[in-house]
Amino acid sequence: MIEIPVVFSGQGDLPQYATPLAAGTDLRANIEEPITLNSLERKIISTGLSIALPEGYEAQVRPRSGLAAKHGVTVLNAPGTIDADYRGDIGVILVNLSKEPYIVNPHERIAQLVVAPYSTVKWQSVNNLPETERGQGGFGSTGKK
């Protein structure tokens, strides 16, 4: 477990894990009044959180499955990446893919945040890549025929 410094300008508790084995912590809407998301509309919703991730870590903003399944509301750029050098408010781009308006209420759980290590790479330019069984087979190339 790593410790992450956080500035929280919202009300209530810091993000929490819903269960002991949950990978993501809940992000809540840091808004004072309800916000309506009409069909196919997108808005950035503040969480009131700013964090300082250690070098070699990123935070991924992911949709909540219940919002998506029950209401058609999801995170537009999922997963959204928060880099270790970003210090601003974590905003969640919500989009309503249903035909009905959806009301985002203050302090509502709107997304999940997963913190994960990452690797940086040094690109090496070559003329050819090593051969594989799959080769250049792309989308759907490994499915049933």
Return the number of other C-beta atoms located less than 10 Å from residue 91's C-beta: 18
Beta strands 49-51 and 109-117 are unpaired
For tokens 């870590």, the residue is: 57
Is residue 144 over pLDDT 80? no
Domain 6-117 has CATH 3.40.50.1370: no
Element (H, E) at 69: helix 65-71
User: Which residues does 34 contact at the CB level (< 8 Å), separation at least 6?
Assistant: 103, 104, 105, 106
Average pLDDT over residues 86-102: 98
pTM assigned to the model: 0.87
Residue 13 has a pLDDT of 80
Helix ranges, 6-51 (H): none
What sign does the CA torsion over 110, 59, 5, 87 have? negative
